Amino acid sequence: MLAQILGKLVFKLNGWHYEVNPEAISDPKQVMIGFPHTTNFDGIRGIALFKILDLNYHLFVKQELFRFPLGPLLTSLGCIPVDRTKSKNIVQQAVEEFSKNERFSLIVAPEATRTKSGEKPPMRTGFWHIAKAANVPIVLMLSDSSLKMGRIFAKIMPSESMENDLLEIQRLYAEYGINVILPEKSIE
């Protein structure tokens, strides 16, 4: 209850609002992705919204950050340490986390960070591989700075075709004016 109140306070103090399609989060387990990733405050507002919605959310965070004093704080915020040098193990680790929990939302920012030149890189596809392997839906979120609005607006179930799924994700975000850049190798 206190977490929900604090979550609402974060939105109010920032002058932001949120809109949630209840159908998008109707499953007890899901991989949640968000675009665009423009500031670290996107993450703070995201965590606030997950608290408001009482989602059992988790984020993979590089294991190097789990040293004292950050380790206990990161764990309390739903973070799970991961060795990023072993990318194939990340999918397996995620599948294991999904199987251990009755409710589990894995939050992923597939856009990653900007390049040094400021260019927007193509999305990474690890979220799709995790959702496919865990047999859970992909929930789409966005952070609209111009409207000061956070949205959870759609979900798709991974199909046999990553290419088709990524094109559908791109189309759904385009409806909100967000250009999602797909990796070339996924649409060949």
- The count of domains in the chain is 1
Residue 135 has pLDDT above 90, yes or no: yes
Does 7 or 37 have the greater pLDDT score?
Answer: 7
Q: How far apart are CA 128 and CA 135, in angstroms?
A: 10
Beta pairing partners, 80: 60
pTM of the entire predicted model: 0.89
Tell me the residue range of the domain where 151 lies.
Answer: 2-187
Q: How far apart are CA 183 and CA 122, in angstroms?
A: 5
Report pLDDT for 176.
94
